A and B are shown apart, each in its own frame.
Chain A
Amino acid sequence: MKYAFYPGCVSRGGCPELYPSAVKVADKLGIELDELKSVGCTGAGVLPQNITDPINARTFAKAEQLGLPIMTICSTCTGVMAQANYRLKDDPNYRAKINREYLADEGLEYKGTTEVKHLLWVLFEDYGIERLQSLIQRPLKGLKVSPFYGCYLRRPPEAITPTKELNRRKAYLDELIGILGAEMADISGKGKCCGFPILSANEENSLAMVAKHTGESKEKGADFMVTPCPLCHLNLDGNQSRAEAQTGKEIDLPILHLPQFVGLALGFNPNEMNLKRHIVSTTDVESKVSMMS
């Protein structure tokens, strides 16, 4: 099982704990990663489509040459690429235009066959839950966990949940929490936005969203929240103390990346999953986990 690995900027920039954790987990699972190094940023929903569609088409063409589907570890990368891929696959004339005007110079062509998948989708759709279950060494019993998807991993339907069967994607994280032995502390905003995209335009609203999601999770008794999106992590973890200051309420909720969460269940210790690198202290989670093994 092999993927063209697109780690994204944040997994090595703002969240440098993510990349090595994901690589270790993939290795343990026996998922082979061929990292795409000479490709560009997806645009992260910041840059306009007329610029990012050609850059993303180039990424898809590179993966197509390798004959591999793309795997990401970021909801935003997945969402932006899946939307671009939908446009390119859906409209052959548009694809031909992008090929002609932007990719032909390099002798590249995107034929429209590349698939883009988040690690979360890979686990359920390609890897198989039974196989994952057989590798669990430390069921995370007694931990209460809130899911937080990152809105790019939920919508729009034509890119994210194109068939009835794939509607299940909206529940993968919920299911995974149970599969890894933990208990779910469900929150109403798990599929909503974390506020990160408007941090520079309206910080107050952005931080209010952080406070709402993390506060609700804490009230439900969660030990931590898990997210497949490092941009959500930047806001929910990195800006949680500012959200606390804005609302005058202590929250103190650790936020784990998806691979860290899976990694703990696979038997990695918290240090190997770089939990120490978070802004909100993970000490309580670490001690609970160490008592399990």
Chain B
Amino acid sequence: MQVTFKVYRKDPEKDGKPGRSNYTLELAEDATVLDALLKIRDESDSTLAFRGCCGRGYCGECMMRVNGSARLACTAKVPDYIKKGPEISLDPLRNVPVIKDLVFDWDAFMWNKIKEVKPWLETEGSPVNGENLIADAAMQDLRKVMSCFYCGMCDEGCTVLPVDFDFLGPAALTKAYRFAFDPRNKDSREQVKIVEKPKGIWDCVHCYEADEHCPRGIEPTKRIVALRDRAFNSGITHEAVARHHASFAASVKESGWLDEGRLAVESEGLTNVKGLMKLLPTAAKALARGKAPIPYMHSKRPDADKIKKIFEKAEQEEK
């Protein structure tokens, strides 16, 4: 079969401006995108830079965008794409610093962020014969998470990274979960505290895009939600988030539902004049249109006492 690849190019040693090269080549019927790239490099353009290693979807090295969507080049079958048209576009992932052509900066994209979450185990006491043995059953949940092969698909699908590249991202936060939830970890809050800092779990919008993208079914968003729940249950250390969550919880506990006026004011902090002033223009407009909820004026739901009882019991249970 004959196929044309339109490949993203950028060479820092030339002008560093992004462009595109077209390559038309003859391929075997079962060729993958990685096969095509190797053929291009061997036969027509030795300057084309890309990464690839295991060739069987295991190492995650050859992650790139094929026709706009992130794929491992070694598992992306060319015939599947040419059904839709004779041309295939290849690009680096979105929002990554590109080094050359399809090679991008994995350190900046993921590894530096993973290093930030303290991705190792610290146990109580010393290991026996160099091992921290644990019952198999206790590792069931983590085994799934440990199958992560750092492909970066979750970060590629993330909603926050395109607006803020410094956000730790689902891959690194999932790594934090892996150690925070390891029963052998001597401080179950260690990683939680790290990822509570700005650009961590509280910057996640929990939109579940990452879960849809992860090829291993690791469900990074659910892991992030678990980290957040643990932070909530053991005392949130991020100041603004702590205020917001405490106000939310207090209003549901006292009245069964949310007092939004109170939430807006208490989230800024009752003594934070600057923060409260910031709310004023919107509040004034809202008031003029008869829609600003007045703080502390909202009524209890019928059965609020029953909801409060459940709330308090659940809190107690977690302690």
Which residues of A lie under 8 Å from residue B260 when comparing CB positions? 9-10, 13-14
Which residues of B lie under 8 Å from residue A151 when comparing CB positions? 159, 205, 207-209
- Judged by a CB distance under 8 angstroms, whether B32 is at the interface is no
- Distance of A237 from chain B, by nearest CB (Å): 10
CA distance in complex: A38, B252 (Å): 13
- Judged by a CB distance under 8 angstroms, whether B290 is at the interface is yes
Which residues of A lie under 8 Å from residue B258 when comparing CB positions? 9-10, 13, 41, 44
- Please tell me if the beta carbons of A47 and B232 are within 8 angstroms of each other in the complex: yes
**B303 in complex: contacting residue of A38, A195, A198, CB < 8 Å:** A38
- Distance of A262 from chain B, by nearest CB (Å): 20
- Please tell me if the beta carbons of A48 and B232 are within 8 angstroms of each other in the complex: yes
| 0/1 string, A30-54, CB within 8 A of B gives 1 | 0000000111110111111111001
- Judged by a CB distance under 8 angstroms, whether B26 is at the interface is no
Given A13-B261, A40-B301, A48-B232: A193 in contact with B207 (beta carbons within 8 A):
yes
- Judged by a CB distance under 8 angstroms, whether A112 is at the interface is no
- Please tell me if the beta carbons of A155 and B212 are within 8 angstroms of each other in the complex: yes
| 0/1 string, A239-251, CB within 8 A of B gives 1 | 1011000000000
CA distance in complex: A247, B306 (Å): 46
- Judged by a CB distance under 8 angstroms, whether A111 is at the interface is no
Q: 17 A-B residue contacts at CB 8 Å? A: A10-B260, A13-B261, A16-B290, A17-B291, A37-B302, A40-B303, A41-B258, A45-B206, A46-B248, A50-B229, A102-B310, A157-B212, A192-B207, A197-B205, A202-B198, A209-B163, A238-B286
CA distance in complex: A219, B198 (Å): 32
CA distance in complex: A193, B221 (Å): 13
- Judged by a CB distance under 8 angstroms, whether B84 is at the interface is no
- Judged by a CB distance under 8 angstroms, whether A168 is at the interface is no
- Please tell me if the beta carbons of A16 and B291 are within 8 angstroms of each other in the complex: yes
Identify which of A116-124, A139-147, A271-279 touches chain B: A271-279
Within residues 136 to 181 of chain B, which ones have a CB less than 8 A from any CB in chain A? 159-160, 163-164, 167
The closest CB in chain A to the CB of B303 belongs to: A38
Interface size class of A (residues with CB under 8 A): 35 or more
Which residues of B lie under 8 Å from residue A179 when comparing CB positions? none
- Distance of B94 from chain A, by nearest CB (Å): 12
CA distance in complex: A40, B311 (Å): 10
Which residues of B lie under 8 Å from residue A200 when comparing CB positions? 240-241, 243-244, 267
Within residues 281 to 319 of chain B, which ones have a CB less than 8 A from any CB in chain A? 281-282, 285-286, 289-291, 293, 298, 301-303, 306-307, 309-311, 313-315, 317-318
Q: Count the B residues whose beta carbon is within 8 Å of the partner chain — how many?
A: 63
CA distance in complex: A48, B212 (Å): 22
CA distance in complex: A245, B146 (Å): 44
- Distance of A48 from chain B, by nearest CB (Å): 4
- Please tell me if the beta carbons of A41 and B252 are within 8 angstroms of each other in the complex: yes
- Judged by a CB distance under 8 angstroms, whether A89 is at the interface is no
| 0/1 string, B269-289, CB within 8 A of A gives 1 | 000000000000110011001
**Given contact pairs A157-B212, A205-B164, A205-B167, a sample of 8 additional A-B residue pairs in the complex whose CB atoms are under 8 Å apart:** A13-B261, A41-B258, A58-B306, A151-B207, A195-B205, A198-B205, A200-B243, A238-B286
- Please tell me if the beta carbons of A55 and B310 are within 8 angstroms of each other in the complex: yes
List residues of chain A with CB under 8 Å of any chain B CB: 9-10, 13-17, 37-41, 43-51, 54-55, 58, 101-102, 105-106, 151, 154-157, 192-193, 195, 197-198, 200-202, 204-205, 208-209, 212, 238-239, 241-242, 276-279
CA distance in complex: A151, B209 (Å): 9
- Judged by a CB distance under 8 angstroms, whether B225 is at the interface is yes
Within residues 244 to 275 of chain B, which ones have a CB less than 8 A from any CB in chain A? 244-245, 248-249, 252, 256-261, 267
CA distance in complex: A239, B318 (Å): 36
| 0/1 string, B221-247, CB within 8 A of A gives 1 | 110010011001100001011011100
The closest CB in chain B to the CB of A58 belongs to: B310
- Please tell me if the beta carbons of A106 and B205 are within 8 angstroms of each other in the complex: no
Which residues of A lie under 8 Å from residue B221 when comparing CB positions? 156
CA distance in complex: A167, B114 (Å): 34
**A50 in complex: contacting residue of B290, B302, B314, CB < 8 Å:** B314
- Please tell me if the beta carbons of B203 and A202 are within 8 angstroms of each other in the complex: yes
- Please tell me if the beta carbons of B159 and A50 are within 8 angstroms of each other in the complex: no
- Please tell me if the beta carbons of A38 and B229 are within 8 angstroms of each other in the complex: no
CA distance in complex: A44, B205 (Å): 12
Which residues of A lie under 8 Å from residue B252 when comparing CB positions? 40-41, 43, 47, 55
Given A102-B314, A106-B306, A212-B163: A41 in contact with B256 (beta carbons within 8 A):
yes
* For the complex of A and B, 6 pairs with smallest distance between CB atoms: A155-B208, A48-B229, A38-B303, A201-B202, A151-B207, A193-B205
Given A48-B232, A201-B241, A241-B282: A40 in contact with B307 (beta carbons within 8 A):
yes
Which residues of B lie under 8 Å from residue A48 when comparing CB positions? 228-229, 232-233, 318
Which residues of A lie under 8 Å from residue B198 when comparing CB positions? 201-202
- Please tell me if the beta carbons of A9 and B229 are within 8 angstroms of each other in the complex: no
- Please tell me if the beta carbons of B303 and A39 are within 8 angstroms of each other in the complex: yes
Interface centre among B233, B260, B281 (most CB of A within 10 A): B260
- Distance of A129 from chain B, by nearest CB (Å): 27
Which residues of A lie under 8 Å from residue B267 when comparing CB positions? 200
Which residues of A lie under 8 Å from residue B208 when comparing CB positions? 151, 154-156
CA distance in complex: A90, B91 (Å): 40
- Judged by a CB distance under 8 angstroms, whether B35 is at the interface is no
The closest CB in chain B to the CB of A159 belongs to: B208
- Judged by a CB distance under 8 angstroms, whether B101 is at the interface is no
